[in-house]
A and B are shown apart, each in its own frame.
Chain A
Amino acid sequence: MELVDQSNSPRDIDIEFRGVTKRFEDVVAVDDISLSVERGAFFSFLGPSGCGKTTSLRLIAGFDQPTQGEVFIGGSSVVGIPSHKRPVNMVFQHYALFPHMDVAENIGYGLRQRNPKPAKQEVSKRVDETLELVRLGGYGKRRVWELSGGQQQRVALARALINHPTCLLLDEPLAALDRKLRREMQIELQTLQREVGITFILVTHDQEEALSMSDRICIMRDGHIVQSGSPRELYDEPINRYVADFVGKSNFFGGEVVETNDSCVTVKFDSGQVLTGKQPKQAPGLANGSKASIAVRPEMISIKSADETDTNSSIAIKGRVMNRIFLGEHSEYLVATEGYGDVMVLSPKSIEHSSRIFTPDDRVSISWRPDAALVLGDT
């Protein structure tokens, strides 16, 4: 497969939504969404089921038409254009391979629909090339249902990529694969995307999948975009509790804002205790008296024996170890604290090696650097 010229200006927009709403009878699946995806990006829609991510993908593919607003592909509006006339291709969740055709016939399907139909040798040459691309050389004559899940996945990819779409749509492509295979396919998809250089738009409910593969992620809830940004931005600077909860793990301490000073916010809890954290840059301001949570990532918390004192941090919360789960490279502790509830702590093995390993009922002290705590609004 020829490589697409990489010299496209980085600001080229491939897919754009302008005020797109999709209503199904009385359900609003997508509610007034505007977004743009740069050419050559690996973009993900991330959210729980029913958040509107699959509908967004189907609006690009042309299986559904927006109730309001416009979808643009490569700068021109595609409203009213049926799916078979759009320059995008999709990899379906359960692959949707044609059961009455062999692998080569499946992959060549898109080429055979063209007008005029390309010559047989041309089709079979392109099919062979594409089979090589997805590392399935020699599998052309196999029946699709004889293949393993991972192989079917590759056939689905090849069937879409052979058409040189401007944009490849992937609907939960790895959901049906087992964990190890999923890891492999994630890496393979990234490599493939760099190789063919086209825009990939992925829909997933798996935050790990989205974080590991995408350049940009759009987090959705109830048909709205909650936040979009690079994986790093979403992880380090979530604009609210929902995003922080969805992307990675977090400890949340819920209370009321009592003092705001620049980006430094103090939150008071029901127990009377207070904690301070900083607000992420993009987050909306928090007024005194509003509900907010202090969020601390488990890996940002260090755990020490109760009698050791941490000189580096101002916070030191006493607690008792409830549980320890050994996760290989990490240990996950659940600590019951005085006044802050249960706290999850992720302690890397490299640190455990030098210090103690705690067991249930050990008295411990947990702490974090002041900038590790984020203050987040609840919505």
Chain B
Amino acid sequence: MGAGSKPNQWLTVALLTPTSIWFLFLLILPLIVILVFSFGERAAVGGYAGGFTFEQYGNLPSRLKAFQNTMLIAPLGTLLSLIVAYPLAYYLALRVSRRFKLLLLVLVIVPFWTSLLVRTYAWIFILGGRGIPTLLEFIGIEGVRLINTPGAVLVGIVYGYLPLMVFPIFVSLEKLDKSLLEASSDLGGSPFKTFMQITLPLSMPGIATGCMLVFILLMGEFLIPAFLGGGKVFFIGNALVDLFLQSRNWPFGAAVSVTLVVIMLITVSLYMRMMMRSKTGRDESLM
């Protein structure tokens, strides 16, 4: 951008203003408010009373279970989503004829046209007493309990987040130069070796993006654990809903939030650094 070119500068300002306002009012200010709240005290009737104390942070261990669940199930859910999504994305990108590709892609998106709330509700019935367990009883397997277990939450996560994982991987496989696969085969690489040495490394940007998207969103998830975990498998998100809306302990909720943000910042920046280090190609991007 030329320093002397005034019209350009005005255009830049005009284009950046909405984003800046959005960032300031919807991201920076709320974060500051949360930070300030986290050092405050709970007012007698609930909500926030001013002050400066570390008491809320000292209370964090009482919500340890929520942190443990989130830190365990979010990465596990991300990994499971990846394991389920990769073959699907691979099939869509490399195996399906052009004619069916679009149709199948639309089918992956179609569930998104309904609210996640409704779809997760449906899973309560599928996993609940009159769903799969009843079917299993017919073939003689009794006493299976699915709902309100970590397994149920994981199933809900894989189901709800699958498209977010499928699409970035699909895109990176789709733009993969198919002649590279032929070149590998031509040079004596069996299909398995070709996959391990060419396809997988070159789809890493898609994997990295998908995992990042799913992981970040999962860390703040509360709907799926609330529905399918039934109060037994709860996330930080559920703790926050409880603290802000039910017990109205805003300062403690704020302290939990700040802690979550810090954990996320550390995890994501470590992850980025790891990915950057293994980044190899010129035009590979993470997001």
Contact present for A113 and B188 (CB under 8 Å): yes
Contacts of B185 in A (CB 8 A): 62-63, 82-84
With contacts A99-B282, A100-B281 known, is A113 near B179, CB below 8 A? no
Contact present for A96 and B177 (CB under 8 Å): yes
Contact present for B198 and A98 (CB under 8 Å): yes
Contact present for B202 and A163 (CB under 8 Å): no
Contact present for A83 and B186 (CB under 8 Å): yes
With contacts A113-B193, A143-B282, A145-B282 known, is A99 near B186, CB below 8 A? no
Whether, in the assembled complex, B280 has its beta carbon less than 8 Å from a beta carbon of chain A, the answer is yes
Whether, in the assembled complex, B274 has its beta carbon less than 8 Å from a beta carbon of chain A, the answer is no
Whether, in the assembled complex, A348 has its beta carbon less than 8 Å from a beta carbon of chain B, the answer is no
Q: What residue in chain A is nearest B181 (Cβ atoms)?
A: A96
Contacts of A93 in B (CB 8 A): 179
With contacts A63-B182, A98-B198, A100-B202 known, is A84 near B190, CB below 8 A? yes
Contact present for B282 and A163 (CB under 8 Å): no
Contacts of A61 in B (CB 8 A): 182, 186
Taking CB atoms and an 8 Å cut-off, the chain A residues in 77-134 that contact chain B are 82-85, 88-90, 92-94, 96-100, 109-110, 113-114
Contacts of A97 in B (CB 8 A): 183
With contacts A96-B177, A98-B198 known, is A89 near B186, CB below 8 A? yes
Size of interface on A: residues with Cβ below 8 Å to B: 27
Taking CB atoms and an 8 Å cut-off, the chain B residues in 184-209 that contact chain A are 184-191, 193-194, 197-198, 201-202
Q: What residue in chain B is nearest A87 (Cβ atoms)?
A: B188
CB distance from B207 to the nearest CB of A (A): 14
Contacts of B198 in A (CB 8 A): 98
Complex CA gap A100/B180 in Å reads: 11
Q: What 9 pairs across the A-B complex have the smallest Cβ distances?
A: A113-B188, A110-B187, A96-B183, A96-B179, A100-B280, A99-B281, A83-B185, A84-B185, A113-B189
Taking CB atoms and an 8 Å cut-off, the chain B residues in 167-181 that contact chain A are 177, 179-180
**30 A-B pairs in the complex with CB atoms less than 8 angstroms apart:** A63-B185, A83-B182, A83-B185, A84-B184, A84-B187, A84-B188, A84-B191, A84-B194, A88-B186, A89-B186, A90-B186, A92-B182, A93-B179, A94-B177, A96-B179, A96-B180, A96-B182, A98-B183, A98-B184, A98-B198, A99-B202, A99-B280, A99-B281, A99-B282, A109-B184, A109-B189, A110-B187, A113-B187, A145-B282, A159-B187
CB distance from B284 to the nearest CB of A (A): 8
Complex CA gap A99/B203 in Å reads: 12
CB distance from B216 to the nearest CB of A (A): 26
Taking CB atoms and an 8 Å cut-off, the chain B residues in 254-286 that contact chain A are 280-282
Complex CA gap A100/B278 in Å reads: 10
4 extra interface residue pairs, beta carbon distance < 8 Å, beyond A88-B186, A89-B186, A98-B183: A63-B185, A99-B282, A109-B187, A145-B281
Contacts of A100 in B (CB 8 A): 201-202, 280-281
Contacts of B280 in A (CB 8 A): 99-100
Q: What residue in chain A is nearest B193 (Cβ atoms)?
A: A113
Contact present for B188 and A114 (CB under 8 Å): yes
CB distance from B106 to the nearest CB of A (A): 24
Complex CA gap A201/B223 in Å reads: 62
Contacts of B191 in A (CB 8 A): 84
Complex CA gap A99/B280 in Å reads: 8
Complex CA gap A302/B242 in Å reads: 99
Complex CA gap A100/B172 in Å reads: 14
Contacts of B189 in A (CB 8 A): 84, 109, 113
With contacts A99-B281, A99-B282 known, is A110 near B188, CB below 8 A? yes
Residue-wise, chain A 46-64 has the 8 Å CB interface mask toward B (1 for contact) of 0000000000000001110
With contacts A113-B193, A143-B282 known, is A98 near B186, CB below 8 A? no
Complex CA gap A97/B184 in Å reads: 10
Contacts of B184 in A (CB 8 A): 84, 98, 109
Complex CA gap A93/B191 in Å reads: 22
Contacts of B177 in A (CB 8 A): 94, 96
CB distance from A79 to the nearest CB of B (A): 17
Complex CA gap A85/B187 in Å reads: 9
Contacts of B179 in A (CB 8 A): 92-94, 96
Residue-wise, chain A 25-67 has the 8 Å CB interface mask toward B (1 for contact) of 0000000000000000000000000000000000001110000
Interface residue from A62, A63, A163 paired with B187 (Cβ < 8 Å): A163
Q: What residue in chain B is nearest A82 (Cβ atoms)?
A: B185
Complex CA gap A94/B182 in Å reads: 12
Taking CB atoms and an 8 Å cut-off, the chain A residues in 326-360 that contact chain B are none
Contacts of A90 in B (CB 8 A): 182-183, 186
Contacts of A99 in B (CB 8 A): 180, 202, 280-282
Contact present for A163 and B201 (CB under 8 Å): no
Contact present for B180 and A98 (CB under 8 Å): yes
CB distance from B276 to the nearest CB of A (A): 14
CB distance from B223 to the nearest CB of A (A): 38
Q: What residue in chain A is nearest B279 (Cβ atoms)?
A: A100
Contact present for B281 and A84 (CB under 8 Å): no
Contacts of B182 in A (CB 8 A): 61, 63, 83, 90, 92, 96
Complex CA gap A34/B80 in Å reads: 53
Complex CA gap A159/B187 in Å reads: 8
Contacts of B201 in A (CB 8 A): 100
Complex CA gap A113/B193 in Å reads: 8
Q: What residue in chain A is nearest B178 (Cβ atoms)?
A: A96
Complex CA gap A36/B170 in Å reads: 43
Contacts of A114 in B (CB 8 A): 188
Contacts of A84 in B (CB 8 A): 184-191, 194
Complex CA gap A230/B227 in Å reads: 78
CB distance from A62 to the nearest CB of B (A): 8
Complex CA gap A20/B183 in Å reads: 24
Q: What residue in chain B is nearest A162 (Cβ atoms)?
A: B187
CB distance from B98 to the nearest CB of A (A): 12
Complex CA gap A99/B205 in Å reads: 13
